């Protein structure tokens, strides 16, 4: 029984309608046939109950064979009694009326069963889902699974809801990042502006009296220039972030051997210039991979730039594959990340004391680029207390 229900539940709307109509028509035909036969027989029995009156007949008698031959020329039936006539008329009306009633009732039953079986629940679920969408509420799920047209429509609406939810989450994340960026801009611009204003007030106050020596004037002007340069660098960082947001992926098929050769050649040169030792270990088994090479190299350049800056002597890079991801584990032998740095490493424009006042633009850019490549970036300290950065890049 459950298998039959499941099959009917998954039938298309058209097939279900034809199946139901066929069943209802068969029932109506059977009931109509039984009714017509019964009523026709009942009417005939009433007619047969009348008496026969014969007139103008010829009677032949044969004595030898005891045979009587009656040949009527005229005969009539007696009239029905009022009760029998009423029954006869009722049966005559019913023989036409009942089939019509069967058809009407059958249509209503078919519509009711079809609505309850195939339309009621999906329409309720779709109405509920659309009401949620109109109220900008994406926290709902349409609970109707079927392989018919309405089931597919419900599934499509679920997919649309999920896509809208994901897009809203991304937009909310972007808004939070923009909010953090605005807050960071307001905070970091305030300090150099305050410094510049303070120096200008100082110069204005003491130049009027002529009490400030030339050496102090030059020193103050240098300090103002330094604050202005800091503002220019900060504006440049903001422009870089905006450009990164507009970057589109351009994936290409890269041969693993060529990719590794390029990676080792480029970063070994940088390590040599930085007077650091770079050790690269790879365990890649694919012959080729689809990635945006430019984005991957830009991410690694930012991470390794920090590693070269803070490493004492050695930097180790482990390159591996894990399912659909390309993984880079970068470990240096420096003092590692502080608790504050581990917490805020990828925050927009986070600056630690060990960064010598530089903006944290590199890690911010790396985070954005990793997310664009459907990957991630994590920071921790290695067992030897050096910094460890794990970069995961989705192979497209």
Residue 148 lies in a domain: no
Question: pLDDT band for position 347 (50/70/90)?
Answer: low
Closest by CA to 232, choosing from 221, 242, 240, 220, is 240
Task: State yes or no: pLDDT of 7 exceeds 80.
Answer: no
**Considering its fold, how many domains does the chain have in total?**
3
Domain boundary, last residue among 223, 245, 267:
245
Q: Which residue has the higher pLDDT, 127 or 201?
A: 127
Task: State yes or no: pLDDT of 360 exceeds 60.
Answer: no
Task: State yes or no: pLDDT of 356 exceeds 60.
Answer: no
CATH number of the domain enclosing 349: 3.30.565.10
Lowest mean pLDDT among 132-141, 192-201, 264-273, 326-335: 192-201
Same domain, 269 and 382: yes
pLDDT at 186: 63
Same domain, 92 and 127: yes
Same domain, 263 and 240: no
Distance CA 141, CA 111 (A): 28
pLDDT at 216: 74
Task: State yes or no: pLDDT of 366 exceeds 90.
Answer: no
Same domain, 118 and 207: no
**SS3 of residue 370 by DSSP:** helix
Task: State yes or no: pLDDT of 361 exceeds 80.
Answer: no
Q: Count other Cβ atoms within 10 Å, centred on residue 88.
A: 17
Mean pLDDT of the chain, nearest integer: 81
Same domain, 285 and 232: no
| Chain mean position to CA 247 | 24
pLDDT at 145: 82
Task: State yes or no: pLDDT of 327 exceeds 90.
Answer: yes
Q: CB within 8 A of 63, min separation 6: which ones?
A: none
Domain boundary, last residue among 245, 275, 310:
245
Share of the chain above pLDDT 90, in %: 23
Distance CA 347, CA 360 (A): 8
pLDDT at 80: 81
Q: CB within 8 A of 275, min separation 6: which ones?
A: none
Same domain, 264 and 240: no
pLDDT at 170: 77
Residue 155 lies in a domain: no
Task: State yes or no: pLDDT of 284 exceeds 60.
Answer: yes
Residue 141 lies in a domain: no
Question: pLDDT band for position 321 (50/70/90)?
Answer: very high
Cross-strand bridge partners of residue 317: 280, 330
Same domain, 129 and 226: no
Q: Which residue has the higher pLDDT, 11 or 280?
A: 280
Domain boundary, last residue among 82, 114, 134:
134
Span 207-226, average pLDDT:
73
Residue 159 lies in a domain: no
Same domain, 44 and 63: yes
Task: State yes or no: pLDDT of 332 exceeds 90.
Answer: yes
Q: CB within 8 A of 319, min separation 6: which ones?
A: 260, 263, 280, 281, 282, 283, 284, 326, 327, 328
CATH number of the domain enclosing 169: 1.10.287.130
pLDDT at 62: 61
Residue 139 lies in a domain: no
Residue 122 lies in a domain: yes
pLDDT at 359: 39
Same domain, 311 and 342: yes
Distance CA 130, CA 152 (A): 16
Task: Tell me the chain's radius of gyration from C-alpha atoms.
Answer: 47
Tell the burial category of 103 from Cβ atoms under 10 Å away from its Cβ (0-12, 13-18, 19+). Answer: middle
What token pair was written down for 195? 């410094």
Same domain, 318 and 230: no
Scanning the structure block, which residue is given the tokens 């305030």? 190
Distance CA 129, CA 140 (A): 7
Same domain, 262 and 338: yes
Residue 60 lies in a domain: yes
Percentages (nearest 5) of helix, strand, coil residues in the chain: 65, 15, 20
Which domain, by its residues, includes 81? 2-134
Residue 152 lies in a domain: no
251 Rama class: left (phi>0) / alpha (psi -120 to 50) / beta: beta
Whole-angstrom CA distances from 6 to 2, 16, 70, 146 are: 6, 12, 72, 9
Per residue in 24-79, pLDDT tens? 999 999 999 999 999 999 988 888 888 777 666 665 656 555 555 556 656 677 78
Task: State yes or no: pLDDT of 376 exceeds 50.
Answer: yes
214-245 and 149-209 helices, crossing angle to 10°: 170
Same domain, 203 and 220: yes
């Amino acid at each position: 029984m459950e298998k039959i229900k499941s099959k009917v539940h998954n039938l298309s709307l058209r097939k279900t309608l034809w199946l139901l109509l066929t069943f209802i028509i068969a029932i109506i035909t059977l009931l109509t046939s039984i009714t017509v036969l019964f009523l026709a027989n009942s009417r005939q029995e009433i007619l047969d109950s009348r008496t026969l009156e014969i007139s103008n007949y010829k009677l032949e008698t044969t004595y030898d064979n005891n045979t009587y031959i009656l040949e009527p020329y005229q005969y009539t039936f007696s009239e029905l009694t009022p009760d029998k006539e009423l029954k006869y008329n009722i049966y005559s009306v019913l023989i036409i009326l009942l089939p019509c009633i069967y058809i009407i009732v059958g249509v209503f039953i078919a519509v009711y069963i079809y609505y309850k079986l195939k339309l009621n629940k999906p329409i309720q679920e779709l109405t509920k889902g659309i009401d949620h969408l109109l109220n900008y509420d994406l926290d709902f799920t349409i609970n109707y699974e079927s392989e018919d047209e309405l089931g597919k429509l419900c599934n499509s609406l679920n997919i649309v809801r999920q896509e809208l939810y994901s897009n809203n989450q991304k937009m909310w994340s972007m808004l939070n990042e923009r909010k953090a960026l605005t807050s960071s801009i307001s905070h970091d611009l305030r300090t150099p502006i305050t410094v510049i204003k303070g120096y200008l007030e100082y110069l204005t106050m003491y130049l009027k009296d002529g009490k400030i020596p030339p050496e102090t004037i030059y020193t103050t002007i240098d300090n103002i220039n330094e604050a202005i340069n800091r503002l220019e660098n900060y504006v440049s960082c903001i422009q870089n972030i905006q450009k990164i947001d507009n970057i589109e992926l351009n994936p290409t098929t890269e041969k693993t051997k060529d990719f590794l050769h390029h990676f080792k050649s480029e970063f070994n040169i940088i390590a040599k210039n930085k007077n650091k030792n770079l050790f690269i270990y790879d365990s890649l088994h694919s012959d080729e991979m689809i990635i945006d090479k430019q984005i991957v190299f830009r991410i690694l350049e930012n991470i390794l730039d920090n590693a070269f800056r803070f490493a004492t002597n050695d930097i180790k890079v482990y390159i591996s594959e894990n399912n659909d991801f390309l993984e880079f584990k970068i470990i240096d032998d420096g003092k590692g990340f502080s608790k504050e740095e581990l917490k805020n490493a990828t925050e927009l424009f986070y600056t630690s004391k060990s960064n010598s006042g530089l903006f944290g633009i590199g890690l911010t850019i790396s985070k954005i680029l990793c997310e664009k490549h459907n990957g991630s970036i994590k920071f921790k300290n290695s067992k030897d207390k050096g910094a460890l950065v794990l970069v995961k890049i989705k192979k497209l």
